[in-house]
Structure 1
Amino acid sequence: MTGQSAPFDFAKAAAVLTDTAARAGAAIMRYFHGASEFTLKGDASPVTLADTQSEAIVVAALKQFAPGIPIVSEEALDGKQGECGERFFLVDPLDGTKEFIKKRSDFTVNVALIDHDRPVFGLVYAPARSLLAVTIAPGHAIEAELPPSASGADLAALEQKKLEVRTADPEGLTALVSLSHLDPETEAFLAKLKIAKRSGAGSSVKFLEIARGQADVYPRFGPTMEWDTAAGQAVLEAAGGKVLTTNGEPLRYGKTSAGLRNPSFIAWGR
């Protein structure tokens, strides 16, 4: 088992959480194909039964795998704040709930390990796309095809491809923009760059597109929470990218004084 002070076993975490993601994805997809009933939380964001069932699966797996590491999960937190500690898991059991409700495929399960303010391990799973991305060692992330399965999955049995950001085309960048949060600040930022193409996406899929070498930059000036970004940042940075605030500093975590809210940031490829 992995505790607060013990070395973190990336390979074992990747294996355990790949199995967990397949099961959480199966729970989510049962609701995806039916009526998308939801309620509004105190911050007016939607939550569905898919969120809560996915969270129960992921949190149970993390408690068994690493009982000594605290878990900060979006739905369990529900507005409550507390100290996170130097090492903790960040979980968003269904990132992109709005996309899920609209029957789009770009919603994800996000799991990250934060160590001294930095996301060092990340898993992002898009069950509607059968797309898994996970760090299997420091500085090494892979992608694999992973269909949702209530019986879980074996990471070792999956065909894995190393994730690596691309070198930007001098003819122009491919920029990713949020489907739900395109704003004037984003437009102003993109106007300063040589942009050849824009692509819209929801949830942590935007981080994955850069990590997979399909895009170059993702600016985000609208509001995000730490659980929205941590896993995607961990995967992207392991693939050679970076996520910086508008001041040029790495995006950091455990910001309890800010209510775990992120500042504006830019995700970059190479």
Structure 2
Amino acid sequence: MNTNLNLAIIASIRAGEAIMEVYSGPFDIELKGDESPLTEADKKANDVINSFLTQTDIPIISEENKQVSYDERQNWNRCWIVDPLDGTKEFIKRNGEFTVNIALVENGNPVMGVIFVPVSRTLYFNDPETEQSYRMVVPEGISNEFTPDGAEGIHYSAKADQKIRVVGSRSHLNKDTQDFIDSLGGTEQVEIVSKGSSLKFCLVAEGQADVYPRFAPTMEWDTAAGQAICQSAGVEVIDQNTDRPLQYNKANLLNPYFKVGAIQ
């Protein structure tokens, strides 16, 4: 297995384990400058991930790291993009729908992504060498040399003769999203599938949903890992402004509106 992929997978699992230590008991909640929540789990997971990824010579963009100016970042051909705890609101609600996201970006394109679900220990990843995406449940007590025993390949496939399955966020369903659903035929033709965090990408990648429209703000660390996994599973993540795949390490780390759907 690719060394960077092994490192990212182990980092995500160890971060997930640190998150679960906090999740199992009471925890405090802070508010960041943008009023989004922050917990001890976010911080601990970020520290764990940094301890692994700093072993490489690849710079890191993380939601919980101090942001580097674009004057410096624009010279990065490769970088890690990390969300140590995606779905903090879901974490606070204790519904299990939160993830660890780690992506490797090359020249603006996410080429490798890892998403780990701490509660179920489900791992999603894509392997640039095989150009395929995988899912598995990670056993307890694994070493730092990851072996993907039991990993199954995932790939989007449409379900015949049924409603279009549209992924909607548990926290975001605005007028633009509703208008898009209506354009597909409304409730007569559409089934809404609710899910939190980057699990929305995974649902489409593994064929449990057909399209994920995101017409609300997200940041690069929310989407990079999911996009890498989707792209290796026959699914595109398309910028609504350019009609091209979302790009990363931009001057502004805020994403445009986008749509996740199968490659035609």
TM-score by length of structure 1 reads 0.89
2:118 aligned with 1:140, yes or no? no
Is this contact kept in 1: 2:115–2:226, CA < 8 A? Answer: yes
Is this contact kept in 1: 2:155–2:234, CA < 8 A? Answer: yes
Correspondence for 1:249 among 238, 244, 247: 244
Q: Distance in 1 between matches of 2:2 and 2:153?
A: 14
Residue of structure 2 equivalent to 1:269 = 262
Is this contact kept in 2: 1:110–1:123, CA < 8 A? Answer: yes
Where does structure 2 lack aligned partners over 5 or more consecutive residues? Answer: none
CA displacement, residues 57-105 of structure 1 (integer Å, 9 cap, x when unaligned): 11110111x22x110111113x664342221110100000000011011
Identity %: 38
Is this contact kept in 2: 1:22–1:147, CA < 8 A? Answer: no
Correspondence for 2:234 among 227, 240, 245: 240
Is this contact kept in 2: 1:215–1:269, CA < 8 A? Answer: no
More displaced stretch, 224-233 vs 165-174? 165-174
CA RMSD of aligned residues (A): 1.8
1:152–1:20 Cα change, 3 Å: farther
Q: Distance in 1 between matches of 2:102 and 2:260?
A: 18
1:87-236 paired onto structure 2 within 5 Å:
87-138=78-129, 139-147=131-139, 152=143, 154-156=145-147, 158-194=149-185, 195-236=189-230
Where does structure 1 lack aligned partners over 5 or more consecutive residues? Answer: 1-9
How many correspondences in the alignment? 255
TM-score by length of structure 2 reads 0.91
AA aligned opposite 1:206: K
AA aligned opposite 2:158: T
